[in-house]
Amino acid sequence: MPRFASLAATAATLILASPVTAQDTPEEVAAAALEAAPVWDGHNDVPGRLRGRYGNVLEGFDFHDTLEGDDWTPGEMHTDLPRLRQGKVGAQFWSVYVPAALEEPQAVVNTIEQIDVTKRLIAAYPQDLALALTAGDVEAAMAEGRIASLIGMEGGHSIGSSLGVLRQMYDLGARYMTITHSRNTPWADSATDEPEHDGLTDFGVLVVREMARIGMLVDLSHVSPATMHDALDVVGAPAIFSHSGARAVNGHARNVPDDVLARLPDNGGIVMVVGLPGYLSEQQRIWYANRQAQEARLEALWQGQPDQVTPRLVEWDEANPTPLATISDMADHIDHIRNVAGIENIGIGGDYDGMSTGPVGMEDVTGYPALFTELARRGYSQEQLEMISYRNMLRVMRAAEEYAAGQSGSPPLETVAD
């Protein structure tokens, strides 16, 4: 047999003998990953929609179908039970967000109400949802075919600057707290407010330390870089970014700069990559800035004459359509975080029902398989996809629980009450 024919025959034999996975399509690799490790999503705002649309009254609300609008708020939601299943979501942090503009005492009350409605929602669908308070609970719920449902607080205003309230929120079921939302708290700087504290105050340091002591995840989405660094300096346990992108890919203040990403391997935390288009597409971010500038220009040219401003702004919009964010944009953020921090430091935090739409092809919670297919197309292995979808977050929560167990002999941190 000629030598080239022998080599060809050997190659054919090796191909046939290769594992099936080596020949799988990106769609098949993604499907296998999500079957083995369904998405653990870091942030979904359904509880806020329940308050805004229904006043937290669940009577008449059908979580099996939220595609239709209603008399209160037209338009569909991004999330319901069939679509969560279609999107291969196995665990979900439900956000009990209340507006950062609220005075702290009212924010505390409203947050408790949002925890209550979230628990009532979970209890109303026992075949599909299960309240999860620990990593073990998450595993047990998923083994039963139910979506593990965790509670995350979005904004430190929700504790009313009280360590006692923080501890009680944990006892009510909250398993992470975002240190700030869109505004500074009295003890921490937000990414989207004027710097006031240069990060964390002394009390803010106590909040972060106490969160870690009791096992509540420290969420650094929405905070300033100085707050990120201050928190990473003192937290001890892994921190999370429940819904953020990479600032090097999109310069929005809500995204994570590289010098913070570089610290995540030592901390053990993760960035759960957000799906909000304005945080994904740099072209869209620049478009928004240009539109704001155009609106300000028109208002200066036509002071006190909104009838002149409005049609001219409409003309500008027609001539300058909004750039669309895509699944590829979201994958670019994942690529960057992998390159700077590592594959072990990536998760998913969609922000559905907290935005008008996700990127093209991921408009609602059904879109996760498309994202994972794109990642597989870029060369991510099934093992790596499983890490991103679920296993990294499971590791982080276990590590936070282990850290808290190691602090069990430490007394609660105390401050003097007003």
What pLDDT score does 204 carry? 98
Q: Say if residues 211 and 241 touch (Cβ distance below 8 Å).
A: no
Phi, psi of 185 (to 5 degrees): -95, 175
Residue 370 within any structural domain of the chain: yes
What pLDDT score does 417 carry? 82
**Averages of pLDDT over each 10 residues, the chain, 418 residues:** 39 40 85 98 97 94 84 72 98 98 98 98 98 98 98 98 98 98 98 98 98 98 98 98 98 98 98 98 97 97 96 97 97 98 98 96 97 98 98 98 96 89
| Domain identity same for 352 and 390 | yes
What pLDDT score does 69 carry? 58
| Domain identity same for 143 and 196 | yes
With CA atoms as reference, report the closest residue to 210 among 418, 6, 9, 411: 411
| Domain identity same for 313 and 183 | no
Burial of 323 (0-12, 13-18, 19+ CB in 10 A): middle
| Domain identity same for 266 and 237 | yes
Question: Catalytic residues, which ones?
Answer: 43, 45, 154, 181, 222, 243, 351
290: tokens are: 């240009």
Residue 17 within any structural domain of the chain: no
| Domain identity same for 349 and 313 | no
| Domain identity same for 167 and 309 | no
| Domain identity same for 296 and 333 | no
Cα angle at 10 between 7 and 11, to 5 degrees? Answer: 85
Residue 269 within any structural domain of the chain: yes
Residue 413 within any structural domain of the chain: no
Residue type present at position 168: Q
Contacts of 346 (CB under 8 A, 6+ apart): 270, 271, 272, 273, 334, 337, 338, 387, 388, 392
342: left (phi over 0), alpha (psi -120 to 50) or beta: left
| Domain identity same for 240 and 307 | no
Look up the CATH number of the domain holding residue 257: 3.20.20.140
What pLDDT score does 51 carry? 96
| Domain identity same for 102 and 203 | yes
What's the number of domains the chain is made of? Answer: 2
Question: Which structural domain range is residue 399 located in?
Answer: 37-276+324-406
Is the alpha carbon torsion for 260, 266, 267, 270 positive or negative? Answer: positive
Cα angle at 83 between 345 and 274, to 5 degrees? Answer: 30
Residue 414 within any structural domain of the chain: no
Residue 6 within any structural domain of the chain: no
Contacts of 192 (CB under 8 A, 6+ apart): 182, 183, 222, 253, 254
| Domain identity same for 110 and 127 | yes
Contacts of 67 (CB under 8 A, 6+ apart): 76, 77, 80
Residue 14 within any structural domain of the chain: no
| Domain identity same for 92 and 48 | yes
Of 323, 349, 378, which one is at a domain's C-terminal end? 323
| Domain identity same for 330 and 317 | no
Residue 65 within any structural domain of the chain: yes
